[in-house]
Amino acid sequence: MLPVASCQLPVASCQLSSILKYKSKEAVVGIVGLGYVGLPLMLRYNAIGYRVLGIDIDVDKVAKLNAGQSYIEHIACERISKARASGFEATTDFRRVSECDALILCVPTPLNKYREPDMSFVIDTTNAIKPYLRAGQVVSLESTTYPGTTEEELLPRVQEGGLTVGENIFLVYSPEREDPGNPSFETRTIPKVIGGHTSNCLQVGIALYEQAIDRVVPVSSTKAAELTKLLENIHRAVNIGLVNEMKVVADCMGIDIFEVVDAAATKPFGFTAYYPGPGLGGHCIPIDPFYLTWKAREYGLHTRFIELSGEVNKAMPEYVVGKLMDGLNNHGKALKGSRVLVLGIAYKKNVDDMRESPSVEIMEMIEAKGGIVAYSDPHVLVFPKMREHHFELSSEPLTAENLVSFDAVVLATDHDRFDYELIRSKARLIVDSRGKYRAPSEHIIKA
């Protein structure tokens, strides 16, 4: 019998050989991109007995992982050390792609400055792995993207070396659904949508994922899986845009929008509670809807709901800064020259994830208008290196003495570790964008 890796067999036999390797856990799983998506996936496959090879272009990340260290707050170093002890290895060497039976691509898909899809990470990664692809492998893209990406960008590159997708190599799309810092869900318990380029591809992909995920949800194509992920995030973006617009209206009417949402949420059917904030953050919701608006233009379509909600959500940091300026004016101060402390710069509570954080936009606007900006965040002790934002700052200690030294504080991210009573009692002016302070007060402004 020929070795499985060669797949010098009829299509059905090659497919069956690949499936058996996943079921027997003899397969080597390669995770390309070791960030908020790839790292939890690595830990899951490692924990259930697979040999996992992590591949990343970031030399520092690879060095930390191989030393048993974590660079993501909610993933403990002990988990990395345990994975290392049981066979996990990280590398920057793409030649080792040939060792892997599965290649799961978890790379960024940001927007460029024109708010168009930046596919460079997906394309560069596919180009990096393609010289080392071999028969019997499955390639799975998890990065959020527009419908057609897998067929248009991955398929021709995967087949460039003479392999045939669906016969001796398999191609699937299975969107990530990680929610960093959410204790209610983990990689294993979040259902996994998957679409294959062919039915053979789908069956191999299911065999890969069903070992690690409690529920796999197959769909008819890679395009359907790609659009599923976009719909999930567009649903959130549109509803958050709606409630952010409602916030502005309610404020003009002297109504507390948080009270209204809480009251509406008591309806046991037909209503889902979404809460307003200072804008959208994270790598998904502020970005993914625009992947569909861009692709829809190819079909002569204008996605009005999506674009309108994007406009509303994009305007929220400026709305918060406007409220800050109003509050300072009421205290006889201008923003220029005032010392402003931004509370929370991660994009959501209780995590260290800074991607697309509206807090950073607020900081930049304050600085651009002449304010002296600082921040406090127990999850981000030093302002990290970011592609588009630069601050040489460290987190300020949240003490009574420090709070009174600022002219205003802006509550941008409502971490549980903040002492809200201390903030309420010591801050001169509070601009609350998260609805933490419900009782009316002369020094608290809802934003």
Catalytic residue list: 284
Separation CA 259–CA 49 (nearest Å) = 49
Separation CA 103–CA 121 (nearest Å) = 15
Beta bridge partners of 226: none
Query: Do residues 434 and 444 lie in contact, with contact meaning Cβ atoms separated by under 8 Å?
Result: no
Question: What's the 3-state SS for the chain?
Answer: CCCHHHCCCCHHHHHHHHHHHHHCCCCEEEEECCCCCHHHHHHHHHHCCCEEEEECCCHHHHHHHHCCCCCCCCCCHHHHHHHHHCCCEEECCHHHHHHCCEEEECCCCCECCCCCECCHHHHHHHHHHHHHCCCCCEEEECCCCCCCHHHHHHHHHHCCCCCCECCCEEEEECCCCCCCCCCCCCHHHCCEEEEECCHHHHHHHHHHHHCCCCCEEEECCHHHHHHHHHHHHHHHHHHHHHHHHHHHHHHHCCCCHHHHHHHHCCCCCCCCCCCCCCCCCCCCCCCHHHHHHHHHHCCCCCCHHHHHHHHHHHCHHHHHHHHHHHHHHHCCCCCCCCEEEEECCCCCCCCCCCCCCHHHHHHHHHHHCCCEEEEECCCCCECCCCCCCCCCCECCCCCHHHHCCCCEEEECCCCCCCCHHHHHHHCCCEEECCCCCCCCCCCEEEC
Number of residues written out for the chain:
447
Q: What are phi and psi of 375, to 5 degrees?
A: -145, 160
The C-alpha angle with vertex 11 and arms to 21 and 135, in degrees rounded to 5, equals: 60
Separation CA 15–CA 4 (nearest Å) = 10
Contacts of 402 (CB under 8 A, 6+ apart): 341, 396
How are beta strands 339-343 and 408-411 bridged, if at all? Answer: parallel
